[in-house]
Amino acid sequence: MGWNQNSITAMLDIKYPIFQAPMAGGMTTPQLISGVSNSGGLGNMGAGYMSSDEIRNDIKRIRNLTDKPFGVNLFVPDSEASADAEEISSMEDVLAGYSSELGMKEKPSLPEKNYAALYRKQLDVLMEEQVPVCSFTFGIPESAIISELKKQGTIIIGTATNVKEAVEWEEAGADVIIAQGVEAGGHRGTFGSEESGLIGSMALIPQVADAVSCPVAAAGGIMDSRGIAAAMMLGAAGVQLGTAFLTCRESGAHSLYKHALLNAREDQTAVTKAFSGKLARGIRNRFMEEMKGLQTLPYPLQNDMTAPIRKQAAKLEQPEFMSLWAGQGVTLAEEVTVKELMIKLVMGTETLLDK
């Protein structure tokens, strides 16, 4: 069996076991997602921050662009996330310096949101639309939700950052498990203790592959066919790439963000909780450096409180205050179309593995 005929390609009915990572925040446009799926991979919507209406709209647009499978990713909310008035006001004070520097009239504050209700509405859309693939980050949904999705034929993908999380996902019924190495850009999918989810792909993939019997897709540091071939050697049946797709013409990344990705060195990223309250890897900038060591609010509170600052920074073209998520393979990012990238990945992997 070749590298592209395995448990993952068969289960998902795709040609190549290459997933485009579901990067939240407007990165995964219908053009990017459909482009990946039309090229034989699996495009994924980073829907964590999207409203149910936005998700429904994008699903319709994707279906106009492709008849191939695609996935939608949701963030599993933490029902215990909370902060007291003092912590909130202290973070408001810290962030006020940035909002005033960016000329914003309104001071940072915490919007009132019912996160559980938003999540339930997101799930309802996925049920109504019978999405082919649904992936989850930051936790494992209740078993009733997984059963419901599976009953309608949706494939479930879980994100794990260590062996324990992978085993829990398998027990919960995941069809595929993403093993996310510490090299990955953006949020750590960790739902155990923070320090338990920082394992490099070279070590993580074989240990997860040994521990579960469902197929594993490797994420973290994979940027080209060399990474794909390596992941396969380590025991993965598929791969997930994020940063490599961010610099595609079809991605929704801000032009400044793309510019930062195309010019960053591999040693310039770090993990930070400054933007969202959860660890995520991005290109170091002033905001990350200055927030170092400060106690953040828990996710998603910190995320909601910094959102207006990041939005204004993007508007004013000030990358020093934007979240520039990037993986450690960032120097390998190229300005290409999604089709060009997919062809390069597939042909390169074939050369390395099917010789």
332 binds a copy of itself (CB under 8 A): yes
CA angle 55, 58, 64 (to 5 degrees): 145
Binding string, residues 194-233; x marks residues near a copy of itself by CB under 8 A: -xxx-xxxxxx-xx--x---------xxxxx-xx-xxx-x
Of the candidates 77, 47, 276, 71, the one whose C-alpha atom is nearest the C-alpha of residue 191 is: 77
Amino acid 230 reads A
**Which of 32, 125, 182, 297 forms a contact with a copy of itself (CB under 8 A)?**
182
Region 84-113 residues binding a copy of itself, contact defined as CB under 8 A: none
Cβ neighbors of 97 (< 8 A, separation 6 or more) are none
Among 26, 69, 235, 252, binds a copy of itself (CB under 8 A): 235
Q: How far is the CB of 154 from a copy of itself (least distance, A)?
A: 30
Residue ranges in 112-151 that form contacts with a copy of itself under rule CB under 8 A: none
Between helix 30-38 and helix 52-65 the angle, nearest 10°, is: 40
User: Does the footprint of a copy of itself cover residue 1 (CB under 8 A)?
Assistant: no
> Which DSSP category does 52 fall into?
H
Residue 72 or 204 with smaller CB distance to a copy of itself: 204
Closest by alpha carbon to 281, among 291, 264, 269, 266?
A: 269
Tokens of 338: 């999604």
Give the nearest distance from C-beta 194 to a copy of itself in angstroms.
11
> CA–CA distance from 41 to each of 12, 149, 239, 346 (Å)?
10, 22, 10, 10
Amino acid sitting at position 11: M
354 binds a copy of itself (CB under 8 A): no
Q: Residue 8: helix, strand or coil by DSSP?
A: helix
Contact map string, positions 248 to 267, toward a copy of itself, x by CB under 8 A: -----------------xxx
Compute the Cα dihedral for 324, 327, 332, 337 and give only its sign: negative
Subset of residues 156 to 175 that bind a copy of itself, contact rule: CB under 8 A? 162-164
Binding residues vs a copy of itself (CB under 8 A): 162-164, 181-183, 192, 195-197, 199-204, 206-207, 210, 220-224, 226-227, 229-231, 233-235, 265-267, 270, 284, 327-329, 331-332, 352
